[in-house]
Structure 1
């Protein structure tokens, strides 16, 4: 008898994003987003858009919205600081916006350089008008992202889902 492995939370997350119409995945390479990035690169029905810096992704997602499509910005917490000025565009123009942020500088962090931005992510995003939702466990990812997608797509809000180190695992140095 052959058993079929259950999909991972990353596979469920990609499927959920696609089911909700996400066709543009803007990203700066990041190990925490590797599955989403690799899957988007292999999917002929989406555009996987590599960025040289995170703020470009804000413009990509805004452009997708104005072009009648939906996008998501995939970034690590250390890149949030790069987006602040561009997030004013999202706030001022009231553009529905979704970002998935892989966190550093919290649970189990061992790299002292990651703490400052890791601790500043949530208050910084909130100051720029984004709603932040945290997810710590694999079984909560789809439910949290589905809530975020409803807030973005039907509620017209800007939302950042923070994929915490409890979920991703802390890097060891």
Structure 2
């Protein structure tokens, strides 16, 4: 399995293509290696705006605000950031905002950092408890169909959906030790 810093996999470009073709204009994110290809592509596209966040719950408000302003937006984050969004997700539920979130998972496969494990176990139940439907892609060949289905559910049916991108897709993350 390649690390997230290697050349992008086809599924990463497919995600960008779905967002671009679907008219997403704003992409809010906390920097994350698993989303780095999509983030770079967004910043390189003059028709899209990448919005760097200081914390994930800002992204929930950004996505809702974009919708109020007539634009489509998506939130990119890592599973560890889902816990930061719990209270803000009440905005999505109570106001019935269409909401799309793509979540790279940590703490579930070949994880070296024990601090990532508890939130990986809580990510799906937390999102579901806040009224967000959860879809999961664990194989590269399933990513485009899963993200496409989520996109349609959000922007055509008005749902709130998070796609969990398995850590198997992202690859093993390794820290380099300084000498």
Aligned-pair Cα RMSD in Å: 1.0
- Aligned partners of 1:126 and 1:108: how far apart in 2? 25
- Aligned partners of 2:80 and 2:32: how far apart in 1? 11
Count of aligned pairs between the two proteins: 167
- Aligned partners of 2:130 and 2:31: how far apart in 1? 24
What is aligned with 1:32? 34
- Aligned partners of 1:51 and 1:74: how far apart in 2? 10
What is aligned with 1:152? 154
What is aligned with 1:65? 67
Q: How far apart are 1:44 and its partner, in Å?
A: 0.7
Question: 1:104-143, aligned counterparts within 5 Å?
Answer: 104-143=106-145
What is aligned with 1:91? 93
For residue 34 of structure 1, give the secondary structure of its aligned residue in structure 2. Answer: helix
What is aligned with 1:53? 55
Deviations 1:69-89 (A, max 9, x none): 100000000000111111000
- TM-score, with structure 1 as normaliser: 0.94
Q: Which moved more, 1:130-139 or 1:106-115?
A: 106-115
Q: How far apart are 1:170 and its partner, in Å?
A: 2.6
- TM-score, with structure 2 as normaliser: 0.91
Q: How far apart are 1:23 and its partner, in Å?
A: 0.7
Q: How far apart are 1:113 and its partner, in Å?
A: 0.7
Q: How far apart are 1:110 and its partner, in Å?
A: 2.0
What is aligned with 1:15? 17
Deviations 1:27-70 (A, max 9, x none): 10000000011111111111110000000000110001111110
For residue 162 of structure 1, give the secondary structure of its aligned residue in structure 2. Answer: strand
- Aligned partners of 2:161 and 2:140: how far apart in 1? 19
Q: Could you tell me which runs of 5 or more consecutive residues in structure 2 were left unpaired when the two chains were aligned.
A: 1-8
For residue 32 of structure 1, give the secondary structure of its aligned residue in structure 2. Answer: helix
Q: How far apart are 1:166 and its partner, in Å?
A: 1.3
Q: Could you tell me which runs of 5 or more consecutive residues in structure 1 were left unpaired when the two chains were aligned.
A: 1-6
Q: How far apart are 1:172 and its partner, in Å?
A: 3.5
- Aligned partners of 1:33 and 1:172: how far apart in 2? 16
What is aligned with 1:3? none
Q: Which runs of 4+ in 1 moved over 6 A?
A: none
What is aligned with 1:4? none
